[in-house]
Amino acid sequence: MTRKVELYDTTLRDGAQGPRIKFSADDQLRIVRELDALGVQYVEGGQPGSNPKAAELFARAKDLNLRTAKMAAFGSTRHPRCAVEDDPNTKALLAADTEIVTIFAKSSPLHAKEILRVTLDENLKLIDESVAYLVSQGRRVFLDAEHFFDGFLEDAEYALTALERGWRSGAEVLCLCDTNGGRLPWEIARIVRTVRERIPEAAVGIHVHNDSGCAVANTLSAVHEGASHVQGTINGYGERTGNANLISVIPNLQLKMGVEVVTSEQLARLTHLSHLVAELANTAPRDSDPFVGRDAFTHKGGMHADAVGKVKYSYEHIVPEWVGNRTHISVSEMSGRSSLLQKAADLGIVLDRDLPETKHILQRVKDLENEGYEFEGADASLELLVLQGTGRYRTFFHLHGFRVSVDRRDPGELSTCEATVKIGLPDGSIMHTAAEGNGPVDALNNALRKALQPTYPELADIRLEDYKVRILDTQAATRAKTRVLIESSDNECSWDTVGVSENIISASYKALVDSIEYKLLRSRGHE
């Protein structure tokens, strides 16, 4: 395929309807700018008649100077009891002042009669009048045929007639919606093919949900059958189980199907965009996501890592950098020396396959993972371990002891947490300090900083980005071993460290110390 397919993003409308997804007005504007940089043609800003935030977005988006993307306002056909020129929803769509207006219409007899409570003929009249009026007001109209695939299987002739009425009234795109998300790829393909045969001159779009887990496959099937307009969301966010994930759709179209979607430079922004939108949505990026997930090109098995070291595409279906990702070699209890060598090389450390120290480091990794450590998500701790095993580790301080206390006298009051640490520095001096914090881990972190920052002022740049606790042996109840993963960052990069102990404070301390030592090694070098 060499034809052009248009991208229509509905993250800010359909995606924001997903459980626990919420964007501020500033978040929305940032996402619009990022989608424009990606090369998306249309960005659906929401339903201006439903909430003030959508109206604010359309007003503020006019100042963005978008290069590629055009904003689209979303709404319904006119209300059955209103003339189209008096319909509040239609007035709000026009007030948004966008070139593109997308309206959804009933194409299923069930939904027309039982949900909208109109006759089938009345429903067709709603489509006719709504599309024609918006076109007469100078708008380009995209028609979302809601529940089209279910409606087609219910009454194919009526569903097709609804499309024809929208097309004849001036709709520029006829977008077929699998609103319930229950259809399968071969059903999508057959019905899209039928639509194109019935209305060959129309531009056909596809909008699917993921309730059967087939949203991406259904979208690709529709494009294979001639759809030229693709709707979806970043990371597949959306109601219930979500929408078609544009982060997967785009590289599949571009790299697998030969459909021109974006430039190679824009495609390389994909991982960044996916993770940024996840952050703005206050959700963690999914490590297992195709193309952009941390694990998408991670190799854990020793034979796999060895093969990738020899021929990259032996276990990688594309070049990771094409989508802004990279190869990760996971060092774990399943790894061999090849994995360790490649992982060390990724970290900028050259190991000799035949030296005893390499075997010793690998055995140390396996022993620690047997205790509950997890180095797949803790590169910084792994780098420290490798440096220790090669004798290139530099000691910046020694712990002589720490104590953490939690004082809560009144059940209705917040706890007071205090930590004391006793630290030995390379010049022989001893720092014995105390600090309070919002919880025992925060207090311990504050005490460490207080003790070390006079000597190492660069530690003031460290920020704690994430803190995760995993109970490793739940059957041990409150005596269970705990694994703590900490993500830290400074003004240049981020890094992850790990600690394990039956005592959650001790586990946190180990991860905190690794984070501090990694920062100092980066700023001051190792021996």
φ, ψ of residue 70 to 5 degrees: the values are -115, 135
pLDDT of residue 487: 87
Tell me which CATH code domain 6-280 carries: 3.20.20.70
- Across the range 498-514, mean pLDDT stands at 90
Q: Which fold has domain 398-524?
A: Double Stranded RNA Binding Domain (3.30.160)
Q: Is 464 helix (H, G, I), strand (E, B) or coil?
A: strand
Token output for 236: 């597949």
Answer whether 94's CB lies under 8 Å from 130's CB. no
- Across the range 176-191, mean pLDDT stands at 97
Which helix (H) or strand (E) is 309 found in, with range?
helix 302-310
Distance CA(54)–CA(493), nearest Å, equals: 35
Which amino acid, one-letter code, is at 480?
A: A
| Selection from 290, 286, 310, 278 nearest residue 31 by Cα | 278
Does the structure show a pLDDT above 70 at 332? no
Cα dist from 213 to 187, 208, 210, whole Å: 14, 11, 5
Query: How many C-beta atoms surround the C-beta of residue 269 within 10 A?
Result: 18
Task: Quick: pLDDT tens for 376-415.
Answer: 667 788 888 888 877 777 788 988 989 998 887 666 666 7
Does the structure show a pLDDT above 80 at 476? no
| Cα torsion angle, 385, 389, 395, 401, sign | positive
Query: How many C-beta atoms surround the C-beta of residue 302 within 10 A?
Result: 17
Where along the chain do its domains lie? 6-280, 298-371, 398-524
Task: Quick: pLDDT tens for 121-168.
Answer: 999 999 999 999 999 999 999 999 999 999 999 999 999 999 999 999
| Selection from 516, 518, 458, 514 nearest residue 485 by Cα | 514
Interhelix angle 504-524/379-389, rounded to 10 degrees, is: 70
